Amino acid sequence: MTLTTFFQHTLTGISLGGAYALIAIGYTMVYGILRLINFAHGDIFMMAGYFMIFSMASLPWQIAIPLVCILSVALGVAIERVAYKPLRSAPRMSIMISAIGVSYLLQNLATYLFTALPRSYPEIPFLKKIFQIGPVSASLVTFITPLLTLLLVVGLMFLINHTKFGMAIRAVSKDFETAQLMGIRLNNTISLTFVIGSLLAAVGSILYFTDRMSVTPFSGTLPGLKCFIAAVLGGIGSIPGAVVGGFVIGICETVLVALGYSTFSDAFTFILLIMILLVRPTGLFGEKIIDKV
Amino acid sequence: MKKSTKIICSSILFILVIAFLYFLDSNKNQYGMAYSVLQKGIIMAVVAVSMNLVTGFTGLFSLGQAGFMAIGAYVTAIFLIPTEHMEGVYYISGASPVIMTFKGWLDSLPAWFQALTPYIALLIGGLIGALFAALIGIPVLRLKSDYLAIATLGFSEIVRAVISSPQMDTITNGSYGLKKIQGFSSLFQTFAIATVCIAFMILLLRSTYGRAFRAIREDEIAAEAMGINLFKHKQLSFIVGSFFSSVSGGMLAMFMRSIDSKTFSISLTYDILLIVVIGGIGSATGSILSAILVTLSKEWWLRFFDNPLTIGGFQIPFFRAGFRMVIFSVILLVIVLFYQRGLMGKNEFSWDRIALQFVKLKNINKKVAKEGGSKNVE
């Protein structure tokens, strides 16, 4: 591998990692607050892809992008209200099955509405412009993704650490009941995490699919699982952890594909998961939780 | 109800089932749909009970069924592709010499052994699946609920990725899949194998091991305090569950006659989960019932959802390809949200229960509203 191809692949990896990081934040926040793997998150990401296709069909991108964000947020909050809220006090397994059910529903609904054939993703002209830095060339979206990711994460960190909403989220994820006793509106706070998660998933979806060109009803499953693993790698509940995890998995995957092991790149992610859970179950930045009997 | 009455009832049911199967088997061409759908239903019943054993009875939320089924299916398929078709099946890169020697050796065995090949193939497929379960169980079973789910889901995806990778072309035929697998000789063979598998699992659940599994499901810490070796029992449940998942995968391969890695995607696991949830998490007979019901409705009765339907010149909207699966996912959600016990809850099928239902029904019909009218039933 020459130095140029190395840089080329690193750049692609960082860009992919940025999109992964944005989705991983959604997982880590929901897990932090509800202790639930939101299996439907990957499918919200997929649906955002379809929303983009249909809104770009008749609208300019300046309007389409906010519209996609709004629709994804509405979908995310609706899922929380319908499928997760009634199960707050149910056993852990029921709420997980409910999450799987939502994911199954969204996939089947997408197959039903848009057929299982891949649909081509609309091009946003300025994002596809090719840039040349020295010998390395890439489209603008490759450069924008990591920058936008970092920008959004900084904004999110500010929201979590320095605003009232953020304080509420932190309180609820520490302790449900106590937070409620302190006058925090539980349902609003949980909805807020879904708003943030779905918004970031929508942005991630635009960045991810612009590079991939097509969407199918199942294109959310694997990225979804990988991003959950990224969240575990970084330490579930920790936003910087999710970002680091997203970048690590994105870069590792691109490197494996570049080396010609593309079929094993998915397998690698899961082996990574098992390794992390064995060696350091709390992830890189996670806090240790002690179970009391 | 007396024990002798129960035995009579059970034998009548058994004879009815056999007679029905015999009828179907002899009129195969006429009732082709029922024939194949029932076969698939009973295969799904095996895997549903095996998932229930792990998830419903031991409380280990494992989503690796599709992966174990894939292992079982591929092992069985390699055994059961007739040697003369091997070249045609592996037309891209040729079969590995090891497999060809093995097939040659298998063909040189006496005829009575040849007749047993399907059973041996299923057994070995199951054992290899169980071996994998034992290996990954050591690290994975230390994990708690959701992590376990995602790790087993990951395992299933790894299996699929490995099977479809070009490096495995000479063994699994990569992404082209295996074809021309020898099928079941009759409906009875399918049902007999399935019955043996399910009976084994139900007997296991009724033994002391089954009680230990249930104790672990209810409260791990309390179970451990009562002297149940957590790891040993979790491992046992996981291995047995995976063994039967693999066997049912092999049966699925024999049923479908051709398999590829896409058959064993995550959605297969979700389909099985749907069956288990509808049947009742923690009820083996519920799983059997719901496996047959769900497969019947999915593959046959509710097919019409997928075709445009016109009644009296009016085209009913929504009816087109894919609508059936939407309905099924909505059913899954509705059951989880509003009716968590499913068909059977944690109860098992028993004649007493049915008798009770009958008496209740009778009482309602006779409008016996007297107090205690149903008390003397027991």
Mean pLDDT of A274-284: 80
Task: Yes or no: say if B103 and B180 are a contact pair by the CB < 8 Å rule.
Answer: no
State the pLDDT at residue B377. 46
pLDDT(A237) > 60: yes
Q: Would residue A292 count as lying in a domain? A: no
The pair of three-digit structure tokens given for residue B59, joined into one six-digit string: 């409380």
Give the DSSP letter string of A106-144: HHHHHHHHH-SS-EEPPP-GGGG-EEEETTEEEEHHHHH
Closest CA to A45 of A27, A64, A63: A27
pLDDT tens digits for A63-91? 999 999 999 999 999 999 999 999 888 88
State whether residue B358 is helix, strand or coil: helix
Residue in the block written with tokens 């089947």: A108
Q: Would residue A157 count as lying in a domain? A: yes
State the pLDDT at residue A34. 85
Task: Yes or no: say if A47 and A204 are a contact pair by the CB < 8 Å rule.
Answer: no
Q: How far B189 CA sits from the closest chain A CA (Å)?
A: 33
Q: Give chain B's mean pLDDT.
A: 86
State the pLDDT at residue B121. 93
pLDDT(B309) > 80: no
Residues of B with CB below 8 A from A227's CB? none
Tell me how far apart the alpha carbons of residues A142 and A95 are, in angstroms, rounded to a whole number. 37
Residue in the block written with tokens 């047993």: B116
The rounded percent of chain B whose pLDDT value lies above 70 is: 96
State the pLDDT at residue A50. 93
Banded pLDDT at A47 (limits 50, 70, 90) = very high
Higher pLDDT, B126 or B34: B126
pLDDT tens digits for B143-164? 777 788 888 888 898 888 888 8
Higher pLDDT, A283 or A288: A283
Residues of A with CB below 8 A from B151's CB? 270, 273-274, 277
Q: Would residue A219 count as lying in a domain? A: yes
Q: Would residue A108 count as lying in a domain? A: yes
pLDDT(B291) > 90: yes
pLDDT tens digits for B173-223? 877 888 888 888 888 899 999 999 999 999 999 999 999 999 999 988 999
CB interface of A with B, residues 63-82, below 8 Å: 82
State the pLDDT at residue B378. 42
Most B CBs within 10 Å: which of A262, A277, A290, as the mutation test of the B interface? A277
State the pLDDT at residue A43. 93
pLDDT(A21) > 90: yes
pLDDT(A271) > 70: yes
Burial class of residue A252 in the structure, from the number of CB atoms within 10 Å of its CB (0-12 exposed, 13-18 middle, 19+ buried): middle
Q: Rg of chain B's alpha carbons, rounded to an integer?
A: 23
Q: How far A210 CA sits from the closest chain B CA (Å)?
A: 25
Q: Where in chain B are the domains?
A: 3-25+32-307+318-347, 351-378
The pair of three-digit structure tokens given for residue A62, joined into one six-digit string: 């300046």
The CATH number linked to A265 is: 1.10.3470
Strand partners, A120: A214
The pair of three-digit structure tokens given for residue B63, joined into one six-digit string: 């989503």
Inter-CA distances, A72 with A8, A20, A69, Å? 32, 17, 5
The alpha carbon of residue B198 and the mean position of all alpha carbons in its chain are separated, in whole angstroms, by 9
Tell me how far apart the alpha carbons of residues B333 and B296 are, in angstroms, rounded to a whole number. 20
The number of CA neighbours under 13 Å toward the Cβ of A168 is 16
Higher pLDDT, B62 or B175: B62
pLDDT(B375) > 70: no
Q: Would residue A285 count as lying in a domain? A: no
Inter-CA distances, B113 with B20, B43, B120, Å? 30, 25, 9
Task: Yes or no: say if B76 and B225 are a contact pair by the CB < 8 Å rule.
Answer: no
Please check whether residue A231 touches B, CB under 8 A: no
Mean pLDDT of B275-283: 90
Query: Is the ipTM of this structure higher than 0.95?
Result: no
Mean pLDDT of B8-25: 88
Q: Which residues of A13-30 are buried (b: 16+ CB within 10 A; e: fewer)?
A: bbbbbbbbbbbbbbbbbb
Q: Which CATH architecture has domain B3-25+32-307+318-347?
A: Orthogonal Bundle (1.10)
Mean pLDDT of A141-157: 89
Tell me how far apart the alpha carbons of residues A250 and A247 are, in angstroms, rounded to a whole number. 5
Banded pLDDT at B369 (limits 50, 70, 90) = low
State whether residue A95 is helix, strand or coil: helix
Backbone region of residue A204 per phi and psi (left: phi > 0; alpha: psi in -120 to 50; beta: other values): alpha
Backbone region of residue A262 per phi and psi (left: phi > 0; alpha: psi in -120 to 50; beta: other values): alpha
Please check whether residue B323 touches A, CB under 8 A: yes
Please check whether residue B196 touches A, CB under 8 A: no
Residues 6+ apart with CB under 8 A from B210: B57, B204
Task: Yes or no: say if A16 and A250 are a contact pair by the CB < 8 Å rule.
Answer: yes
Residues of A with CB below 8 A from B330's CB? 105
CB contact under 8 A, A270 and B165: no
Tell me how far apart the alpha carbons of residues A30 and A98 are, in angstroms, rounded to a whole number. 15
pLDDT(B325) > 60: yes
pLDDT(B102) > 50: yes
Query: Closest to B326 (Cβ–Cβ): which among A36, A112, A263?
Result: A112
Burial class of residue A249 in the structure, from the number of CB atoms within 10 Å of its CB (0-12 exposed, 13-18 middle, 19+ buried): buried
The number of CA neighbours under 13 Å toward the Cβ of B98 is 4
The pair of three-digit structure tokens given for residue A94, joined into one six-digit string: 């029921």
The rounded percent of chain A whose pLDDT value lies above 90 is: 36
Cα-Cα-Cα-Cα dihedral sign, residues A145, A151, A157, A160: negative
Residues 6+ apart with CB under 8 A from A197: A25, A26, A27, A29, A30, A38, A41, A76
Closest CA to A285 of A229, A245, A226, A248: A245
The total of structural domains in chain A comes to: 1
Helices (H), ranges, chain A:
3-34, 41-58, 61-79, 92-114, 140-162, 164-174, 176-181, 186-212, 221-234, 239-258, 262-279
Mean pLDDT of B339-366: 81
State whether residue B53 is helix, strand or coil: helix
Q: How far A35 CA sits from the closest chain B CA (Å)?
A: 9
Tell me how far apart the alpha carbons of residues B274 and A190 are, in angstroms, rounded to a whole number. 27
Instruction: For residue A28, give its domain range.
Output: 3-279
State the pLDDT at residue A61. 85
Task: Yes or no: say if B349 and B294 are a contact pair by the CB < 8 Å rule.
Answer: no
Tell me how far apart the alpha carbons of residues B23 and B127 are, in angstroms, rounded to a whole number. 34
Residues of B with CB below 8 A from A228's CB? 150
Please check whether residue A83 touches B, CB under 8 A: yes
Q: Would residue A286 count as lying in a domain? A: no
Q: Would residue A111 count as lying in a domain? A: yes
CB contact under 8 A, B336 and A98: yes
Residues of B with CB below 8 A from A232's CB? 147, 150
CB contact under 8 A, B337 and A267: no
The rounded percent of chain A whose pLDDT value lies above 70 is: 97
Question: Which of A38-52, A242-256, B299-313 is the least confident region?
Answer: B299-313
Mean pLDDT of B248-254: 95
